[in-house]
Structure 1
C-alpha cells in the first residue's frame, strides 16, 4: 500500500476561500432582499441558458458515474481498502448501513415523498402515459425512483470514495482541492485549489439553503393543515429563524451525543410512520405497485437516463430531472465527507455496493408507501391529493395523511420529523462549511460556524423573497453548474490515484514484525474521525 503523503499541519485560520465565498453569498443575499424580482429574473435567465445548452451534461455525467462505479467494484481495485491494507472497519456492517441510512433521512422524504409521485400521476413525465391511469401510476413511481435512487447516490459515492481514498489512503487533508493532487500537483494548494474550494462552498451552501426553504414551507403547510395558520412568507421567515438558531447553537456547542440521539429519534419516528402507513394503507396494492415500478425502473434505466427535452418538455426537466440532479451535485461535497468518515477500513467494493444500494432501496420503499397510498386513493376517487399538490405541493403529504386514521397524530409526527431532519443535518453541513473555509480543520472556530449558520438562514429568506420555490430551484441549478465540472474532475483524479496503486497490495507496516503500524498526524483514531453528533444529512 502507498504510504500516506505528508501534508501541511492543520490550520484553523480562515483564508481567501472564506472571504471570497462569503462575499459572493452576501452579495446574493443583499440582491434578493433589496431587489427580489431582479434576482428572480436573472436566475430564470441563467437557469434557462444552462439547462437548454448544457442540461444533457447532468444526465451523461450521472450515468457515467454509475458505469464508473460498477467498473471499479468489479475490477481489481474493488479489493483495495480505504486505509492501510491491514486496517479493518471500525463499525459492523449492520451499523454502517444504519449510518448510511441516517444520511438518507431528510426533508426531501417529506417534501417530495407524496408530492412527486402524485404530480407525475396527474401529468406523466414526457407524455409516457395517460394522466390518472394505472399505467401513469407505474410511470410516476419509476421517475420518482429515478430522481432519488441510483443516480443521486452514484454522485455521492464517487465523491465519498475519492475523499476516503485521499484522506485515508494518501493522508491528505479533507478539502475538495486536495482531491485534485493527482491532476494539479502543488497547484492544488494555490489559487486554482482555492477556486475549487470556493465553488464547493457555494454549491454546498445553496444546497442547504434549498433544504431550509423547503423545510420551512413544509412546516408552514403542516401548521396550516392542523391549526389553520397562515401560509405566508412571514410565517416561513419565523420558522427559518427558529430552525437556524437551533442548528447553529448545535454546531457551536457540539452537545455530547445530542444530535446523534436526535438522528436516531428521527430515524425511529420515520420508521414507525412508514410502518403505520404500510399497515393501514392499501398494503397489497403498494406491494404490487412496488414490484412493477422497480421492474420498469431497472429495465429502462439507461433509456430514461438519456431523455432530453428535445420534445419540448424543458419545463418538466427544469422542475424535476435537472433540479434533482443539480441538488445532488450541490450536496456532493458534504455527503461525500460524511460517507468517507464512516467508511474507513472498508474495501472499495463494499463502499460502492453499500452506498449505491442501501439508500436507493430505502427511498424507493418510502416513496411507494406514501406516494403509492396517495395514488391509490386518488385513482379510487376518494381523495383529490393531486389537485391539492398542484395548488400547493407542501400540502400533499398532509392531505394524504388526512385520508388515513389518526391524521392529527401523524401530522404532528411529520412536522417533528421535518424539524429533526433539518436541525441534525444542517448542524453537520455548517460544520463542513466551516471545515472547507478553514483549511480543512476538523475543529473550525466557533465564530466561523456561527457565521455560516447565520448566512444560511439569511440566504434562504432572501431566495424566498425573490420567488419562493422557483428561486430555490433556480439557485441550486445555477450554483451547481460549475461544480458539475469539479465533480467530473474528482472522478478523473480518483482514477489517476487508483491507477498508480500496485496490482497486488504491498505488506502493511507492522505485518512482518519489523515495526508497528504507524499513523500520520492526519490519521487520528477512529473515535476522533467520526463526529457522531453530525451524522445525518438531509436529502
Structure 2
C-alpha cells in the first residue's frame, strides 16, 4: 500500500519541465501563461460561475436530503478529532496565509477601485468592498471543498477505496480508473497541489520578509527569503513526520488560537463599533445579493467584465486548483461524521470566521484610509497589513504577532500538503511513509525558491489556474459518481 506509485514519477517529471521552463525563460513563461490564463478567464468565466453556484446548491441538497444521515465510515465509527480541532484544521488548510496576506489589502483595493460600477472611495464602495471580499472567500469556496471532500471521504471510509481522486470515479468508469486513465487524473491532482502550495510558500516568504524588514530592517532579497523558506521547511517537515494526530493537529489548534487573538487585537484596538456594524450590514448584504453575485457575468460592460476576470473568475479558478489538496485533507480528518454534520460544519464555521476576519481587517484599513492617517493604497500587498498596524496602538506587538501567525499558517499549510502529496503518490495510503513526505517537502520548497529567484511566482500562479479548467471537469464527474453511489448506499441501508 505504501509503495510509491507511477503518479509520483510522472508528476516529478512534469514539475522539472515546468520549473525548468520558468527558470531558464521566465519572461516567455510568464507571457505564455498569462495569455492562456486570460483566454480561460474570458472564455470560461460563465462556466466557473455556474459551476461554483452548482456546488453551493448541491451542498445544501446534501444537508436536507436523506443522504445526510449516512456516516462517513462504518455506522459505528465516530469522529477522530473534536469539533474545535476539526474546524481549526479546516481553517488552516483551506485559507492559511491568504487571510493575513489579503485580509486588509483586498477590501482596501475594492474600496479604491470599486466593482459593480460603484464610485470608488464612497460609503457605497465601502459596503461593496466587504461584500465582494466575503464573496471571494466565503460560502461558495467551502461548498466546493465540501462536496469534493465528501466524495473522497465517502469512498475512502464508507466503501474502503484508496484515498485517491481517481478512486471516486469508479462508479462511472469501473476498473479503468486503476490503469492509465486513473493515473492521469491523479497526476493532475498532484501537479495542482504541488504548485499551489509552492506558490503559497513563495508569497508567505515574501510577506514574512516584508514584515521583518518593516520591523527589524532585514533586507528584502532572495537570500532572506531562502533562509525563511529553509527554516520553515525544517519545521513543516518535522511536523508532517510526526503524523496527523500530533504535529498537524497541534499546529492547527495553535493557528486558531493565534488567529483569534490577532483578530481580537484588531477588534479592540481598531474602530470596534464600526467593525461590528459593518460586519452585520455587509453580511446581510452578502446573502441578500448572493444570487445576483453568483451569476453576474457583466456581459455588456467591458470595464466590469475586466474587473470580474481579474478578481472573481481568478479566485474561482484559484480555489478549484486548490481543491485536490484541501478537499483530500478535509476528507482525511472527517472520518466518522455524518454527511449532514460534515456539510453544515464545512459550510458554516469557516464562512463565519472568514467573513468576520475580512470585516475586522477590511474595516480598519478602509477607516484609516478615509481618515487620511496614511495612504495604504500606495503600499504593496504584503506590506499593507504592517502599514495599517503602524498607525494603531501597540503596533510593534501586533506586527510581531502577525508574523508568528503567518509562520504558523505557513508551516501548517505546507505540512498538510506534504501529507496529502504523500497519500496521492503512494496509492492513497492513509499513513504515507516519512521518506515520501520528506521528498515532497523539499520539492515544494525548491519550486518556491527557484521561481522566487527569477520572479516567476506570477507565472506559476497562472499555471495552476490553467490546470484548474481540466480538473473542474473531473469535479463534475466526481459529483455524478457520488450521487450514483449514495443512491445505491441508501437502498442498501434500507435493506439492513
Same fold (TM over 0.5): yes
Which among 357, 364, 381 is matched to residue 393 of structure 1?
A: 381
In structure 1, the residue corresponding to 2:315 is in which secondary structure?
Answer: helix
Q: Hey, what does 1:15 align to over in structure 2?
A: 5
1:200 aligns with 2:189: yes
Q: Hey, what does 1:513 align to over in structure 2?
A: none
1:32 aligns with 2:22: yes
1:274-285 equivalent positions in 2, closer than 5 A = 274-285=263-274
Q: Hey, what does 1:272 align to over in structure 2?
A: 261
Query: What's the CA shift for 1:488?
Result: 1.7
Query: What's the CA shift for 1:86?
Result: 4.2
Question: Equivalents in 1 of 2:84, 2:218: separation in Å?
Answer: 42
Q: Closer, same or farther in 2 for the Cα pair 1:489/1:232, shift >3 Å?
A: same
Q: Closer, same or farther in 2 for the Cα pair 1:430/1:75, shift >3 Å?
A: same
Query: Does structure 2 retain, via aligned residues, the 8 Å contact 1:464–1:471?
Result: no
Query: Does structure 1 retain, via aligned residues, the 8 Å contact 2:329–2:420?
Result: no
> Once the two structures are superposed, what CA deviation does each residue of 1:470-518 show, in whole Å capped at 9, x if it has no partner?
324312311222111111211111111112223583476xxxxxxxxxx
1:435-446 equivalent positions in 2, closer than 5 A = 435-446=423-434
Q: Hey, what does 2:296 align to over in structure 1?
A: 307
Query: Does structure 1 retain, via aligned residues, the 8 Å contact 2:248–2:412?
Result: yes
Q: Closer, same or farther in 2 for the Cα pair 1:507/1:261, shift >3 Å?
A: same
Q: Hey, what does 1:356 align to over in structure 2?
A: 347
Q: Hey, what does 1:4 align to over in structure 2?
A: none
Which among 299, 302, 326 is matched to residue 335 of structure 1?
A: 326
Q: Hey, what does 1:453 align to over in structure 2?
A: 441
Query: Does structure 1 retain, via aligned residues, the 8 Å contact 2:41–2:314?
Result: no
Query: What's the CA shift for 1:255?
Result: 9.8
TM-score by length of 1: 0.87
Question: Equivalents in 2 of 1:320, 1:18: separation in Å?
Answer: 33
Question: Equivalents in 1 of 2:422, 2:452: separation in Å?
Answer: 24
In structure 2, the residue corresponding to 1:502 is in which secondary structure?
Answer: helix
Q: Aligned residue pairs: how many? A: 494
1:147-296 equivalent positions in 2, closer than 5 A = 147-252=136-241, 254=243, 257-296=246-285
In structure 1, the residue corresponding to 2:211 is in which secondary structure?
Answer: helix
Question: Equivalents in 1 of 2:492, 2:245: separation in Å?
Answer: 42
Query: Does structure 1 retain, via aligned residues, the 8 Å contact 2:248–2:416?
Result: no
Query: What's the CA shift for 1:256?
Result: 7.8
Q: Which segment is superposed worse, 462-471 or 15-24?
A: 462-471
> Once the two structures are superposed, what CA deviation does each residue of 1:390-428 show, in whole Å capped at 9, x if it has no partner?
xx1111111111121111111111111111111122112
1:78-93 equivalent positions in 2, closer than 5 A = 78-93=68-83
In structure 2, the residue corresponding to 1:67 is in which secondary structure?
Answer: helix
Query: Does structure 2 retain, via aligned residues, the 8 Å contact 1:177–1:197?
Result: yes
Q: Hey, what does 1:56 align to over in structure 2?
A: 46
Q: Closer, same or farther in 2 for the Cα pair 1:253/1:352, shift >3 Å?
A: closer
In structure 2, the residue corresponding to 1:130 is in which secondary structure?
Answer: coil
Query: What's the CA shift for 1:229?
Result: 3.0
Which structure shows the higher helix fraction? 2
Query: Does structure 1 retain, via aligned residues, the 8 Å contact 2:30–2:456?
Result: no
Q: Closer, same or farther in 2 for the Cα pair 1:415/1:91, shift >3 Å?
A: closer
Query: Does structure 2 retain, via aligned residues, the 8 Å contact 1:133–1:379?
Result: no
> Once the two structures are superposed, what CA deviation does each residue of 1:34-84 show, in whole Å capped at 9, x if it has no partner?
111111111112112211221222211111001111112111112222223
Question: Equivalents in 1 of 2:411, 2:34: separation in Å?
Answer: 30
Question: Equivalents in 1 of 2:312, 2:169: separation in Å?
Answer: 28
Question: Equivalents in 2 of 1:461, 1:94: separation in Å?
Answer: 34
Which among 304, 312, 319 is matched to residue 310 of structure 2?
A: 319
Question: Equivalents in 2 of 1:96, 1:507: separation in Å?
Answer: 33
Query: Does structure 2 retain, via aligned residues, the 8 Å contact 1:59–1:305?
Result: yes
Query: What's the CA shift for 1:376?
Result: 1.1
Question: Equivalents in 2 of 1:425, 1:409: separation in Å?
Answer: 24
Which among 418, 435, 438 is matched to residue 430 of structure 1?
A: 418
Question: Equivalents in 1 of 2:99, 2:187: separation in Å?
Answer: 29
Which among 353, 356, 369 is matched to residue 360 of structure 2?
A: 369
Structure 1 unaligned segments of length 5 or more: list them: 1-10, 509-539
In structure 2, the residue corresponding to 1:289 is in which secondary structure?
Answer: helix
TM-score by length of 2: 0.94
